[in-house]
Amino acid sequence: MMNTTLKNEAQIAKFRRLIIAISIIIPIAVAALFGIRVDGVDLTFLPPFYATVNGLTAVLLLAALVAIKRKNRIIHQRLIQTCLVLSLLFLICYVAYHMTSDSTPYGGELKGLYYFILISHILLSIAVIPLVLFTYLYAWEGKFEKHKKWTRFAFPIWMYVAVTGVVVYLMIYPYYK
């Protein structure tokens, strides 16, 4: 019979493998789903919704930071869990919209800035997946020092992705059909 520590270590190893798998599968699945076109479904209402979800994620990330600075772990944990759910909701809505709608070309004068923000947003949204999930896992394991170290990278990147999601929407909004 396996002792509790070994059982937990085996469970944590499974979570680590799951995080790695998710971090690989999500970007590949999103790219693949962009190749699928669903006609006859109008989801044009989604961009302002998922921009709002991004904005709310940014606000709640800040609130989570404040909560942990005030040593309120329970509120911090709940806010981070809410941010994880919101990020998943964003991803689902984003993919659904792009499977049913043509991409909107940017037509403004700040094209270079727009594409810099958009490309950095996309690349960092891929990188943030394992960063956030491993950071969360370290807290779940009670490895708070390791959690803090990872948070120094995960938090600003997650915040950047959330905020630039709103910025990209605001910049492209005038060009929606």
Tell me the residue type at 150: W
Measured distance CA(82)–CA(56) in Å, rounded: 10
Quick one: average pLDDT of 83-88?
Answer: 97
Residue 130: both structure tokens together: 């394992």
Quick one: average pLDDT of 137-153?
Answer: 95
Tell me how far apart the terminal alpha carbons of the chain are, to the nearest angstrom.
63
Indicate the pLDDT class of residue 4, thresholds 50, 70 and 90.
very low
Quick one: average pLDDT of 81-98?
Answer: 95
Residue 81: both structure tokens together: 């869990």
Check pLDDT > 70 for residue 2: no
In the chain, % of residues over pLDDT 90: 81
DSSP state, 101? S
Span 104-128, pLDDT tens digits: 899 989 999 999 999 999 999 999 9
In contact, 133 and 15? CB cutoff 8 Å: no
Measured distance CA(95)–CA(113) in Å, rounded: 24
User: Which residues fall within 8 angstroms of residue 68, CB to CB, at 6 or more apart?
Assistant: 76
Indicate the pLDDT class of residue 3, thresholds 50, 70 and 90.
very low
pLDDT reported for residue 163: 98
9 vs 61 pLDDT, higher one: 61
Torsion sign (Cα): 62, 118, 48, 126: negative
HSE at residue 51, side-chain half, CA atoms within 13 A, is: 14
| pTM: predicted TM-score of the whole model, two decimal places | 0.90
Which CATH number does 42-175 carry?
Answer: 1.20.120.80
Tell me the residue type at 132: V
* Distances, alpha carbon 104 to alpha carbons 9, 21, 44, 108, 122, in Å: 47, 31, 11, 12, 16
Check pLDDT > 60 for residue 5: no
Measured distance CA(37)–CA(63) in Å, rounded: 38
Residue 134: both structure tokens together: 């491993």
